Amino acid sequence: MDMRRWARRLALIAATMALAGCGSSTTEGTGETRAFRSPSPIITLIQFSDQWASASPRWMDIGDVVFSSSFQTSYPAKPGTIQFQYDQAPGVPYLKGQIRGTGLKPNFCYQMKLAGKPGTATNGLWRGKTADTATNEAILTAARWWDYYSEADAFDTSNPTAELATTDYQNGWVAGYNYFGYFMTDANGNITGTDRTGPVGGWVTVTSDRCFHITGFKNSQFDQTGSLGTPVDPYSWGFTRNSAHYTGASVGTTDSVELFYQNENATGVFSLPAGKHSVVLMVTEESFHNNLGWGTSPSGGFWDTVWVSDWSTVKSPLGTASLGGYWLPRHGSAITFTTR
């Protein structure tokens, strides 16, 4: 074979690999390279209208200092941006990706959840081919669930088998979900990474293999790798405040708070069976880390889900004047990946 034909063959092989998603990918606008086998397009999360009656937004930072009334008024009109990219063919049995965000609530904590897509052919949250009942059941059985028909605060997750037998589950309204981590923001509302080593406003690696999040109760703490029964010292998070987001001279420019990790399932490790999975990435405002905000302070918030990658456009079954609207007016971007 002459050199010209060999060069053309090499070019064809390289082009085929690129179309198949082989090799690494370069992050949009950053030049960062990641070892994703098959990277997804960059997904921009969309705002979620939580229909749970108890859900309320948090207007305190992680140090329990209340944002100014002017910030509270202006923020909903410009809620920032969260973007996500993931590996479509990870060599591990869980979701693997990276997240970045700018212009979010400053000095703030957000939970990340992996949610399933329940539904039947004609009923439920997701309907027809948009539902993924097998993945939803796998997530529910391994972790937690939520009934979107009644918006029940189903915090007792000790018996998933009984939940699978309920009418609401059979009708496609109960979504499995898994807490798998959190991210923090800096004084300007940019994601900085859970350990502050991630670039400000840049991509921060996230995986759903561990089931942990922050809590303010010291008797519930575990290490961040998911080992059960191993208390650790609280992680001290030092941060600065931008006075433009607060009212009054009493707000200091710096502060330090203690954050704790807590496992959510029996083993501390989360995995999915081999196969194709269609899921939702949910972002919820965290309220565990303080005593003021746990449903007792008007500014403290109560687990308000605020961002999702995608959601059903069906109407909430509640049907009340105040909460009987739609979670989303339109679909977002589906997250699908295949585990082996």
pLDDT digits (tens, 9 = 90+) for 43-73: 999 999 999 988 889 999 888 889 999 999 9
Would residue 319 count as lying in a domain? yes
- The domain of 290 spans 41-339
Encode pLDDT of 224-247 as tens digits. Answer: 444 444 444 455 677 889 989 998
Q: What is the pLDDT of residue 139?
A: 95
Within a domain: 35? no
Judge whether 324 lies within some domain.
yes
Number of domains in the chain: 1
Residue pair 229/203 in contact by the 8 Å Cβ criterion = no
pLDDT of residue 8: 45
* Residue 255 lies inside a defined structural domain of this protein: yes
How much of the chain, in percent, has pLDDT values that exceed 70? 72
Residue 205, in any domain of the structure: yes
- pLDDT (tens digit per residue) in 323-336: 889 999 889 999 99
Q: Is residue 11 part of a domain?
A: no
Residue 213's pLDDT band (boundaries 50, 70, 90)?
low
Asked if the structure places residue 12 within a domain, the reply is no
For the beta carbon of residue 39, count every other beta carbon within 10 angstroms: 21
| pLDDT score of 263 | 57
Q: How confident is the model at residue 284 (pLDDT cuts 50, 70, 90)?
A: very high
Six-digit token string for 257:
């708070």
pLDDT the model gives residue 119:
98
Read off the pTM: 0.84
Q: What is the predicted pLDDT for the residue at 339?
A: 95
Does any domain span residue 2? no
Classify strands 144-147 and 235-240 as parallel, antiparallel or unpaired.
unpaired
Pair 337, 314: CB distance under 8 Å: no
